Amino acid sequence: MQDRNQAHRIRKRISTALTLLALFIIMLIICVPGLWIVLNSFRPTVEIMAKPPVWTPSFTLEHYRAMFGGAGEGGVPVFAYFRNSLIISVTSTLIAILIGMAGGYTFARYRFAGKSSWFVGLMIFRAVPGVALSLPLFIVFARIGLIDTHLGLILVYVAMNVPFTIWLTDGFFRQIPKELHEAAEIDGCTRWQAFWKVEFPVARSGVASAAIFAFLTSWNEFALASQLTRSVGSKTMPVGLLDFTAEFTINWGGMCALAVLMIIPALILTFLVQKHLIAGLTFGGVKG
Amino acid sequence: MRMRRLPEWLVLLLPAIIVTAAVVLIPLLFSLYSSFTPYKLTRPSTLWIWIGTLNYEKILADWNFWSAFGRTILFLTVVLNLELLLGLGIALVINRITWGQRALRTIIMFPMMFSPILVGFQFKFIFNDNIGLVNNTLQSLGISDAALPWLVDAKLAMFSIMFAEIWMSTSIFAILILAGLYAIPRDPLEAAEVDGCTAWQKFRHITLPFLMPFIFIAMTIRSLDVARAYDIVQIMTGGGPARRTELLWTLMSRTGYVDARMGLANAMGYVSIILSIIFTVYFFRKLSAARNELGMGG
C-alpha cells in the first residue's frame, strides 16, 4: 500500500514536471520571434549584421530617430502611413459594424426562407483570397479612379469585414432573450427604439469585440492594400514595411522599429477584448 | 398608390448584400469574363477578344500550375493538421496549469495580433542564412558549422514558410479549444473516473466529442482566410528560389502583376477561389452537423 502510494506520487510529480516543461517550450516558441523583433529595433545595424553574432545586445534609438526624422537614411514617411492606416481602419470598421450589426440582428431575430444559404453565401465572399480579388479589383478601381484613394480601401475593408461581423454579432444577439424586446414593445417602444434602448446595450461588449476584430483585419491587411495603393497619400503601414527593402538588402533595424509601431495598437486592443472575443466566436459558432 | 414594402429582414440585410456585391461580386464577374479573354494590362484592347476556355486549357496543360496547385494542397493539409494538433496540445497543457491562466491566454493570443506580412518579414529575418537567429544559434552552440540555407533549399524553405504559417495561426485553434475545455461539464468525466476509465479513454470518448464543435469553428474561421499565407510566402521567398516554394497565390500574382497577363491570372484566380469556397462550405457543414449532434442546432 505504502509503495503504491509512493509510486503514484512520483508519477504525478513527473507528469507535473513534463507539463511545465511543455508549457515552457510553448511559451518560448510563441514569444521569442516577436521579442526578437522588438529587441532588434533597439540594436545598431552593425550589431545586427555582425558575423560572428554579438550575443550581448547594446542599446540605441538610432532606428526610431531615423524613422521619425523623415528624410535621410531610412527616411520613411511613417506619420503619413500611420495616419492612412488609422483613417482607413477606423472608418471601415465603423461602417462595417453598422452594416454587420444590422445583418447579425436579422439572422438572430427573423425567420425567412433560405436563411442558412444567405448566411453561407455571405461567408463565401469573405473566403475569396485577397490576391485573387486584388487582380479584378485593381482593374475595376483603375477604371473608376479609386486606385490610391482612402475611399477605395475603405470600401474593400468594409466588404471584407461585414460577413465576419455578422457572424460574431449574430451570436451575441441570439443570447439575449426575445422577451426583452417584446416587453419593451409592449411598453410602447417601436422595434427600432427597443433595439437601441434594450438590446444594443446588452450586446455592447460583443459588438465592441467584433469592432476590434474588424479593426485588426484592416490594420494588418496587405495583399489588397499593396495593389490598390501607390503613393504616400494612401499607403498603409503593412505596405510601408516594404519601403525598408531594396533590391538586395533590407534595413532590418528600421523595419523592426516600424513593426513595433504597428504592433502596439494591435496589442492594446487585443488585450482589451480578449475575453469577449473568445466568447463571441464560440457563442456565434456553437449556438448559432 | 403605395409601393409594396420589402420585408423587414431584407431591408436590414440589404446594406450588407449591396456592399459585398459591389466590392466582391462585380469584380469577380468581371474577372470571370476576363478569364475568357487574352487580356493584358499593357494592351487594353485585348479585353474585347473572346477566346473561350483557352486560358483554362493553357493552365491545365501547364506543369508549373499543377506543381503550384499540388504544393498548395500539400501546404494547406500539413499546416492545418499541425495547427489543429498543436492547438489541441497547447490547450490541454494550459488547461492543466492552475495558475496565471489569464496571462497565459493572453500570451497565446500574441501571434494573432501580427500582420501576416510582418510575420513574413520576421521569419525571413530569423531564418536568414547569414545573420538569422536560427543559424546564429546553431553555429554558436556548435551544432552546425556551415550556415544552413533555410530559405534557399527546397525542403528547408518549405519547412520555413510552414513554420511561419503555423506560428501565426495555431493560436486561433488553441484559444477556441481552450474555451471548449472550460465549457466541458464535470459530471461525465467524474462518472468515467468512478467507472475506472483511463485518461486516454476519458479523452477519446468524452473530451474529444465535446470539443468537436469548437474544433470546427476554428477550422471554419481558418478556412475563411487560409489565403493569408500568401503574404508570408510572398515576403519570405516570393515563391522562389526557382519556383521551389511556388504556391497557387504567388504564381497568380506573378502572372497578373509582373507578366501583366490578367486574363490568364484571373483564370488561376478562379481555381483558387473555388478551392477556398469548397473549404469553407465543407467546414460550415461539418460545423452544423457537430452542432446538431450536441443538440445545439436551431
- What are the tens digits of pLDDT across the range A5-39? 888 888 888 888 998 999 999 999 988 888 888 88
DSSP codes, A87-103: HHHHHHHHHHHHHHHHH
What residue numbers bound the domain in which A261 lies?
Answer: 67-286
SS3 A190: coil
pLDDT at B285: 85
Of the residues A44, A64, A84, which one is the last residue of a structural domain? A64
**Contact between B97 and A36 using a beta-carbon 8 Å cutoff:** no
* A217: confidence class by pLDDT, cuts 50, 70, 90: confident
Distance of CA B31 to the CA centre of its chain: 23
Q: Are residues A162 and A222 in the same domain?
A: yes
* Rg (alpha carbons) of chain B, rounded to whole number: 24
Residue B137 has pLDDT above 80, yes or no: yes
Find the mean pLDDT for residues B166-186: 86
Nearest to A159 among B19, B230, B272 (CB): B19
Residue A70 is classified by DSSP as -
3-class secondary structure per residue, A219-273 = HHCCHHHHHHCCCCCCCCHHHHHHHHECCCCECHHHHHHHHHHHHHHHHHHHHHH
* B294: confidence class by pLDDT, cuts 50, 70, 90: low
Q: Is A8 exposed, middle or buried (0-12, 13-18, 19+ CB in 10 A)?
A: exposed
Domain residue limits, chain B: 62-293
* A288: confidence class by pLDDT, cuts 50, 70, 90: very low
Residue B145 has pLDDT above 70, yes or no: yes
Q: Which residue do the cell numbers 409594396 mark?
A: B4
A143-161 pLDDT per residue, tens? 888 888 899 999 999 999 9
- The reported pTM is 0.86
Closest CA to A286 of B184, B162, B153, B43: B184
Q: Are residues A161 and A223 in the same domain?
A: yes
pLDDT at A75: 63
Q: How many helices (H) and strands (E) does chain A have?
A: 13, 0
Q: Are residues A25 and A156 in the same domain?
A: no
C-alpha cell at B232: 508570408
Q: Are residues A222 and A106 in the same domain?
A: yes
SS3 A138: helix
B31-72 pLDDT per residue, tens? 888 888 888 877 778 878 888 788 888 888 888 889 989 999
Residue B209 CB-half CA count within 13 A: 12
Give the dihedral sign, CA B76/B80/B83/B85. negative
Q: Are residues A144 and A264 in the same domain?
A: yes
User: What contacts 24+ positions apart, CB below 8 Å, involve A20-26?
Assistant: A22/B89, A22/B93, A23/B93, A23/B94, A23/B97, A23/B104, A26/B90, A26/B93
Closest CA to A134 of A160, A161, A163: A160
CA distance B54 to B33: 13
Query: Which of A194-198, A248-252, B93-97 bottoms out in mean pLDDT, i.e. has the lowest?
Result: A248-252
pLDDT at A103: 92
SS3 A58: coil
* Rg (alpha carbons) of chain A, rounded to whole number: 25
Residue A83 has pLDDT above 70, yes or no: yes
DSSP codes, B232-283: HHHHHTTT-STTTT--HHHHHHIIIIIS--HHHHHHHHHHHHHHHHHHHHHH
**Residue with more model confidence, A201 or B1:** A201
Closest CA to A228 of A163, A160, A139, A161: A139
What residues of B are in contact with residue A134 (Cβ under 8 Å)?
Answer: 253
Q: Are residues A204 and A77 in the same domain?
A: yes
CA distance A96 to A163: 9
User: For testing the chain B interface, which of A89, A262, A286 should be mutated: the one with the most B CBs within 10 Å?
Assistant: A286
The interface predicted TM-score (ipTM) is 0.84
One-letter amino acid for residue A120 of the chain: V
Residue B87 in contact with residue B170, Cβ under 8 Å?
yes
pLDDT at A169: 85
As a whole-number percent, the residues of chain B with pLDDT over 70 amount to: 96
Find the mean pLDDT for residues B173-199: 85
Residue B163 has pLDDT above 90, yes or no: yes
Give me the phi and psi of B185, to 5 degrees please: -65, 140
Find the mean pLDDT for residues B168-187: 86
Work out how many CB contacts closer than 8 A connect A with B.
262
Shortest Cα distance, chain B CAs vs residue A99, angstroms: 6
Q: Are residues A137 and A252 in the same domain?
A: yes
As a whole-number percent, the residues of chain B with pLDDT over 90 amount to: 10
**Contact between A222 and B231 using a beta-carbon 8 Å cutoff:** yes
**Contact between A23 and B220 using a beta-carbon 8 Å cutoff:** no
Q: CA-based angle B275:B279:B285, to the nearest 5?
A: 145
Residue A261 in contact with residue A82, Cβ under 8 Å?
yes
Residue A239 has pLDDT above 70, yes or no: yes
pLDDT at A272: 75
The pLDDT mean for chain B works out to: 84
What residues of B are in contact with residue A126 (Cβ under 8 Å)?
Answer: 224-225
Nearest to A263 among B113, B179, B213 (CB): B113
Residue B100: how many other CB atoms lie within 10 Å: 12
SS3 B18: helix
pLDDT at A210: 85
**Contact between A102 and B15 using a beta-carbon 8 Å cutoff:** yes
Q: Are residues A12 and A97 in the same domain?
A: no
Q: CA of A112: which chain B residue's CA is closest?
A: B9
What residues of A are in contact with residue B177 (Cβ under 8 Å)?
Answer: none
The pLDDT mean for chain A works out to: 83
Q: Which residue do the cell numbers 445545439 mark?
A: B296
Of the residues A18, A36, A64, which one is the last residue of a structural domain? A64
Here the CATH number for the domain that contains residue A277 is: 1.10.3720.10
pLDDT at B107: 84
Q: Are residues A46 and A83 in the same domain?
A: no
CA distance B127 to A272: 33
Find the mean pLDDT for residues B134-153: 81
* β-sheet bridge partners, residue B40: B43
Q: CA-based angle B110:B116:B122, to the nearest 5?
A: 75
Q: Are residues A136 and A267 in the same domain?
A: yes
As a whole-number percent, the residues of chain A with pLDDT over 90 amount to: 12
Residue A61 has pLDDT above 70, yes or no: yes
Number of domains in chain A: 2
Q: Are residues A92 and A105 in the same domain?
A: yes
Find the mean pLDDT for residues A254-266: 87
Q: Are residues A71 and A58 in the same domain?
A: no
Shortest Cα distance, chain A CAs vs residue B152, angstroms: 15
CATH for B62-293 is: 1.10.3720.10
Which B residues, 9 through 38, put their C-beta within 8 Å of a C-beta on chain A? 9-10, 12-13, 15-17, 19-20, 22-28, 30-31, 34
Shortest Cα distance, chain B CAs vs residue A69, angstroms: 22
Beta-carbon contacts of A260 under 8 Å, excluding residues fewer than 6 positions away, are: A37, A38, A41
pLDDT at B162: 92
User: What contacts 24+ positions apart, CB below 8 Å, involve A66-75?
Assistant: A66/A254, A66/A257, A67/A254, A67/A257, A67/A258, A67/A261, A74/A244, A74/A251, A74/A254
As a whole-number percent, the residues of chain A with pLDDT over 70 amount to: 92
Shortest Cα distance, chain B CAs vs residue A20, angstroms: 8
Find the mean pLDDT for residues B146-161: 85
Nearest to B16 among A27, A162, A220 (CB): A162
Residue B192 has pLDDT above 90, yes or no: no
